[in-house]
Amino acid sequence: MTDIVRSISGYFYTDMYEYLYLVTDDSAKSYKFIFKDGKIYTDDGITQINANDFIAVIKKITSEFRNKILEHSAQLESYEKIYTNHRYFSNFIKKHPVLKYEIHKFQNKISHFYEALAICQNEQPALKKLLQNYTYEANIFKNVVNENAVKAEEIFNYIQNIRSEKINRNIYTLTLLSLLFLPLNFITSFFGMNTSGMFLSQMKNGTFVLSIAMLVIVMILIFVFWFKSKKE
């Protein structure tokens, strides 16, 4: 019998037999179990195995998936320190694309693994009791992986929001400085013109008067911005 190479786990049907195809955490490795006449065969369709050997493989794959989930969960737990210490920002941003890809790929893998076991459990009554715990555990794995995907996006969105707020604050500060110095630039430019008859040019304390006027303008602007920000 010709083995069909697939990228995802699943329970499939042919005219002659049904088979369970399982992809492990290492995508290069997979298992094919053929069900025919109440018996279980390996992918060659000739070698017969018993239910215990079949369950041993399921147990092995489940253990691999469990370890991968624990690895992702530990990574995300360490990244959640970002909420209290922002110095981890750059490290997470660098690794986020790869982590997102890995979790998304694992989501797809564990989801199909669960569905394959669930269908096999329904289609093979003799294995229903043996597969019950592993199908239940695979469903839990699927939910945990989905939660990890949400956590990764929440951390990423949190960082983006913090950065956006920082940029907005910087822009607001620059805007305030521009508004403060705009009238001062106008005054200095106006009185810096080399023309005769300039206002205050003949006064002994003209520079002092002008400095006081500029200071008053600055104080008024600062008060206006402070009052406006407090009101908002």
Same domain, 202 and 95: no
Q: Is 36 or 170 the better-scoring residue by pLDDT?
A: 36
**Which helix (H) or strand (E) covers residue 10, if one does?**
strand 10-13
Query: What's the number of domains the chain is made of?
Result: 2
Same domain, 109 and 194: no
Same domain, 123 and 15: yes
Residue range 43-60: average pLDDT?
A: 92
Q: Which has the minimum average pLDDT: 17-26, 45-54, 199-208?
A: 199-208
**Which helix (H) or strand (E) covers residue 11, if one does?**
strand 10-13
Tell me what pLDDT residue 3 has.
Answer: 46
| DSSP string across 12-76 | EE-SS-EEEEEE-SSTT-EEEEEEETTEEE-TTSS-EE-HHHHHHHHHHHHHHHHHHHHHHHHHH
pTM of the model: 0.71
Same domain, 36 and 67: yes
Choose one of 151, 168, 185: the last residue of a domain: 168
Q: Which domain holds residue 215?
A: 169-231
Q: Which two tokens stand for residue 92?
A: 């997470």
Same domain, 197 and 140: no
Residue range 81-92: average pLDDT?
A: 78
| 160 within some domain | yes
Same domain, 123 and 174: no
| 2 within some domain | no
Residue range 178-197: average pLDDT?
A: 66
Tell me what pLDDT residue 191 has.
Answer: 61
Report the distance separating Cα 162 and Cα 175, nearest Å. Answer: 20
Same domain, 142 and 188: no
| 34 within some domain | yes
| 1 within some domain | no
Same domain, 15 and 130: yes
Helix, strand, coil shares of the chain, percent, nearest 5, are 70, 10, 20
pLDDT at residue 59 tops 90 = yes
Report the distance separating Cα 97 and Cα 95, nearest Å. Answer: 6
Same domain, 161 and 176: no
Residue range 65-85: average pLDDT?
A: 87
Same domain, 125 and 185: no
| 3 within some domain | no
Tens digit of each residue's pLDDT (9 = 90 or more) over 117-160:
999 999 999 999 999 999 999 999 999 999 999 999 998 898 88
